[in-house]
Amino acid sequence: MDTVELLRTLVAFDTTSHRSNLELIRWVAGYLRAHGIEARLVHSDDGAKANLLATIGPQVAGGIVLSGHTDVVPVDGQDWHSDPFTLTERDGRFHGRGAADMKGFIAACLAAVPSWCGLKLQRPIHLAFSYDEEVGCFGVPRLIADMRAHVPTPALAIIGEPTQMRIGLAHRGFYGHRTTFRGRPAHSGDPALGISAIEPAALLIAQLGRLGRTLATRGHRTTFNVGLVHGGTAINIVPACCEVLWEFRPTDEAGTTLVRREVERMLAAVAPDVTVETAQLAGVPALAAGDDGLAVDVARALGALWPPGELPFGTEAGFFQQAGIPALVCGPGAISQAHQPDEWIAASELDAADGFLRGVGTWATGQDATA
């Protein structure tokens, strides 16, 4: 099967994040098994989803990880001109949910498997396909833990998010939180009998905004957003509870530490009669540009575009970097198409990915990938 046919098959699996990805994962495992490759499945706690980890080549250190997520965002409320889960070609573009983000990359990886199997590989090629990236990268930490337990340390990881095959070396992280304030209800005719939960919540919101502006004036690129506030029951009742959903996006670990310290200071100043609880809903570490010389050299030799592009989105790359595996982002398709109605990937982008992955096979034989 070529890349387009494989993409057609993958798009047909509705792996929207609130659904299971097991049908797709099992199909991929069967495809690999037909080529003599056994895949490891690492399931979520409830068993409804799974990561897939497979190795082509020798079980030695120094290989390359090709990482992608199998889940996609919803199509609800979007104006599609064709069935989102049926790959449709129009004017050199292949439309379908996940075509760009990021089943196109996974399809290209799978299309390369038969040729990789025919080579005398000296370095392994690891396929790492995860679940629930779109809702917080919940699958990849478990995948990486399993990789560290069963796979000799790879030399680099390439995360195939859509960059139009341009190298991405850095992106901000994402940390989402729910902070819940609990006070005491009372009739608003005598508010002193109650303790408002909304007032300290409003103070937190204002302070987050002030912190963001202060950091910006100091040259920090960490951003904040308060996405949802819910509290109170009626206009004439002192509110007993208020929830604030908020997030911040740091550029590095130092920024993460700074924000956590400041927020702890803010919440410590809340009135003693108000109970405050903060739960982290999602945590995606930043990818920090650093000593990734080997990863860059390999990617450039394989045909990835340079200079590196700005990445306005988060990926799984920061998790690999935290695990001590140099990582970068490079894959087919445009991020501007991700999450959009009539999402598409250009045929030329799939062709570029095919060429890149042929080079991966050459590199894994120990030869010069540019020869």
| Options 71, 132, 342, 343, the catalytic residue | 71
CATH number for domain 3-171+287-364, candidates 3.30.70.20, 3.30.450.20, 3.20.20.10, 3.40.630.10: 3.40.630.10
Of the candidates 66, 92, 249, 247, the residue with the CA atom closest to the CA atom of residue 161: 66
| Options 101, 133, 161, 354, the catalytic residue | 133
CATH number for domain 174-284, candidates 2.40.440.10, 3.30.70.360, 3.30.1950.10, 3.40.50.720: 3.30.70.360
Q: How many helices (H) and strands (E) does the chain have?
A: 9, 15
Q: Give 10-residue mean pLDDT values along the chain (371 residues).
A: 97 98 98 98 97 98 98 97 98 98 98 98 98 96 97 97 97 97 97 96 96 95 96 97 97 94 93 93 91 87 92 94 96 97 98 98 82 41
Q: How far apart are CA 27 and CA 152, in angstroms?
A: 26
Helices (H), the chain: 3-12, 22-34, 104-117, 140-150, 198-217, 253-268, 293-301, 317-322, 347-364
CB contact set of 75 (below 8 Å; sequence gap of 6+): 16, 84, 97, 341
Kindly state the DSSP code that residue 191 receives in the 8-state scheme.
Answer: G
Residue 110 DSSP SS3: helix
| pLDDT for the residue numbered 292 | 67
CA 60 → CA 67, 74, 335, distances in Å? 18, 39, 34
Concerning whether 71 is annotated as a catalytic residue, the answer is: yes
CA 343 to chain centre: 18
Beta bridge partners of 245: 178, 228
Q: How far apart are CA 282 and CA 30, in angstroms?
A: 32
pTM: 0.92
| pLDDT for the residue numbered 370 | 46
CB contact set of 80 (below 8 Å; sequence gap of 6+): 341, 342
Q: How far apart are CA 308 and CA 67, in angstroms?
A: 19
Take residue 172 and report the two structure tokens written for it.
């901000």
Beta bridge partners of 229: 244
Contact status, residue 256 vs residue 289, Cβ threshold 8 Å: no
Concerning whether 2 is annotated as a catalytic residue, the answer is: no
| pLDDT for the residue numbered 293 | 85
HSE of 188, CA atoms in CB hemisphere, 13 A: 10
**Domain ranges within the chain, ordered by starting residue:** 3-171+287-364, 174-284
Contact status, residue 356 vs residue 304, Cβ threshold 8 Å: yes
Take residue 124 and report the two structure tokens written for it.
């392994």
